[in-house]
Amino acid sequence: MFQSLFSPSVQHAIDLIGIFVFAISGALLAVRKNFDVFGIAVLAEVTALGGGLFRDLIIGAVPPAAFTDLGYFLTPLLAALLVFFLHPEVERLESWVNVFDAAGLGLFCVAGTTKAYEYGLGLTASATLGLATAVGGGVLRDVLANEVPSLLRWDRDLYAVPAMVGATMVAVCIRCDMLNPVTSALAVITAFVLRLLAMRYHWRAPRAWNRRSTVVEVREGAQP
Amino acid sequence: MFQSLFSPSVQHAIDLIGIFVFAISGALLAVRKNFDVFGIAVLAEVTALGGGLFRDLIIGAVPPAAFTDLGYFLTPLLAALLVFFLHPEVERLESWVNVFDAAGLGLFCVAGTTKAYEYGLGLTASATLGLATAVGGGVLRDVLANEVPSLLRWDRDLYAVPAMVGATMVAVCIRCDMLNPVTSALAVITAFVLRLLAMRYHWRAPRAWNRRSTVVEVREGAQP
Amino acid sequence: MFQSLFSPSVQHAIDLIGIFVFAISGALLAVRKNFDVFGIAVLAEVTALGGGLFRDLIIGAVPPAAFTDLGYFLTPLLAALLVFFLHPEVERLESWVNVFDAAGLGLFCVAGTTKAYEYGLGLTASATLGLATAVGGGVLRDVLANEVPSLLRWDRDLYAVPAMVGATMVAVCIRCDMLNPVTSALAVITAFVLRLLAMRYHWRAPRAWNRRSTVVEVREGAQP
């Protein structure tokens, strides 16, 4: 329906890069949680492919791309192997991993929004699914690792907001009939740069106003 | 297939009320867990729409209603905003929130069962999906918040049983060819009243018999 | 498409046995976690049917078998009742439960791979879904119980690897046009025996190499 942002083969290569860096973040968490090599592979796969899988189930694109494209499936395994053997080196490169992760965030929120719209969803729903494509894998990763999703925690730099901005830009462009490779690239870059700035300046989202009254409840919640 | 319980616009308004109160419960948990404004919105959406989303994926109704009806999507955001700014006031109204939540429970288990049957599922499966529609959002909420689902805990007042009764009543009515607005309303009210009574008298479900032998294992399980 | 491993009625009986033993493991965990009778039933259902449900959603087989076959739905309830009344006795039989669980693992990974291939997925994707069919229910069980999935933990005997071997054998047989009741049975038995050996000799999968550098991070991760 839309002219793709890049030629299919270039787009595919970009997808694989995004999948690879997401998988690295999953594999690193698995190492920190002391999982075995199989757990590392599972967390790499889930982090890299979970968001797209969710989107594809919602829009009815079954079987999902994660199960029809062998490259999508093998790339996280490669990332898992790399982390398995070289994780101290990979962790030393963590700031670079974060930069690539930001790029993946930008690419996935734009690609997710576009794909959802192509399957007939409305603009708001498409942007929401674009956001879910970008952040869903990380949420699944944290749920499987039995941690509070870092996406939801107030003490983490903004992660979802850059993806929301990128997805919204795509939706607005579709609405104005202006979605083309240039505007798509602009949306990717905006999300990417916003995420980099959020990491650089530790931007955080506010918590609920006037929290004094709930201090006691937080303590209760901490030991259920 | 069935005559709806109410006219479509009234039914839609009722759905939105149910979604709103479920979203409030999700947003309140997010505040207690110290999540930021984005986490509050996510937990509100997931709590309000998760049960119906699961049902729609199972019966093959894609894209799910949660992604095709803008009102379904925006209502939880409204609830999240309200809790974000006014959560101490909302918490003071918690007993009222619980009453509305009980109403949502009744409405969703009946609507879920009916929709599943309309999509061709058997009576037992339809009732099960009606139950899942009513309680699924709360389970997802607790999983994302990294807590043991309150649905499963023995130290909480009965929540699933009222929904099971309501869903079963609908299935029996379908079987006897007696499903109409009156019997549907009766099922909603039964589930609603049962939940109110369970809260009022702290009805609990029994745990496994003869638990002495497992005390040691519980302790082990507590520090994995 | 394929000649089934056994006649349909025998296959169905085998499925029910696999579902039953998986349900027992879910119900036992629920008892250890101190859940009420409803929580026991939910965890039994989820453990027994979760893997197949995931597979069916991915391949687009909706509504999933778990919701169309009444026997699939009722069997876990039977297991839950049994554990509810007799859990000390069931736990004393745990080594037998483990043997049956290993049999279920073998059967499900083979049946899952075959079904996925029949729905048109590639060989790698089919084997992956076969693995997911066998282990997915256990992962869902642990997520709902708010525990780190035992599948991912390094300190547990190999569980996924036997299923991977069985699923891979089926995929190789399909590739070589050699899938028939005999080779299917061979794959089931291989996975079954491997799992028994893994339990007998406490086979474990390795963790990431050179873990010294992450010791500190593990501690940090333990108190998020």
* DSSP calls for A121-175: --HHHHHHHHHHHHHHHHHHHHHHTTS--GGGBTTS---HHHHHHHHHHHHHHHH
Let me know: does A124 contact B70? Beta carbons within 8 Å: yes
C-alpha–C-alpha distance, residues A95 and A188, integer Å: 20
Mutation site, C28, C35, C54, interface B, largest B CB count within 10 A: C35
Let me know: does C67 contact C99? Beta carbons within 8 Å: no
Which tens digits make up the pLDDT trace of C150-199? Answer: 888 888 889 999 999 999 999 999 999 999 889 999 999 999 999 999 99
Which tens digits make up the pLDDT trace of C112-132? Answer: 999 999 999 999 999 999 999
Average confidence (pLDDT) over A163-168: 96
First to last CA, chain B: 51
B93 interfaces chain A, CB cutoff of 8 Å: no
Chain A neighbors of B37, CB-CB under 8 A:
205-208
Label residues C76-112 b or e (16+ Cβ within 10 Å = b): bbebbebbbeebbebbeeeeebbbbbbbbbbbbbbbb
DSSP letter at B211? G
124-163 in chain B: CB under 8 A from chain A: 143-148
Chain B neighbors of C88, CB-CB under 8 A:
210, 213-214
C40 interfaces chain B, CB cutoff of 8 Å: yes
Chain C neighbors of B125, CB-CB under 8 A:
63, 67-68, 70, 73
Which tens digits make up the pLDDT trace of A98-145? Answer: 888 898 899 999 999 999 999 999 999 999 999 999 999 999 999 999
C-alpha–C-alpha distance, residues C92 and C107, integer Å: 25
Bridge-partner residues for A35, per DSSP? C153
Give the residue from C216, C67, A200 showing the smallest Cα distance to B116: C67
Strand, helix or coil for residue A119? coil
Q: How far is C121 from chain A (nearest CA, A)?
A: 7
Amino acid at C69: D
How long is chain B? 224
pTM to 2 decimal places? 0.89
First to last CA, chain C: 50
Which tens digits make up the pLDDT trace of B12-63? Answer: 888 898 899 899 989 999 998 889 999 999 999 999 999 999 999 999 998 9
- Which of B60, B122, B143 minimises the CB distance to C143? B143
A165 interfaces chain C, CB cutoff of 8 Å: no
Counting runs of H as helices and runs of E as strands, what totals does chain B give? 9, 0
Query: How many CB atoms are closer than 10 A to CB A201?
Result: 10
ipTM: 0.85
Q: Which residue of C has its CA nearest to B119?
A: C63
Residue that is written with structure tokens 């006031």 in the block:
B89
Q: How would DSSP label each residue in B67-79?
A: HH-HHHHHHHHHH
* A223 token code pair: 């030991």
Let me know: does A167 contact A113? Beta carbons within 8 Å: yes
Every domain of chain C and the residues it spans: 8-205
pLDDT at residue C172, as a whole number: 96
B180 interfaces chain C, CB cutoff of 8 Å: no
Give the residue from C138, C141, C135 showing the smallest Cα distance to C112: C135
Let me know: does B79 contact B20? Beta carbons within 8 Å: yes
- Which of C35, C62, C64 minimises the CB distance to B154? C35
- Which of A53, A70, A87 minimises the CB distance to C208? A87
Q: Which residue of B has its CA nearest to A212?
A: B88
Q: What percentage of chain C has pLDDT greater than the value 70?
A: 91
Let me know: does A86 contact C208? Beta carbons within 8 Å: no
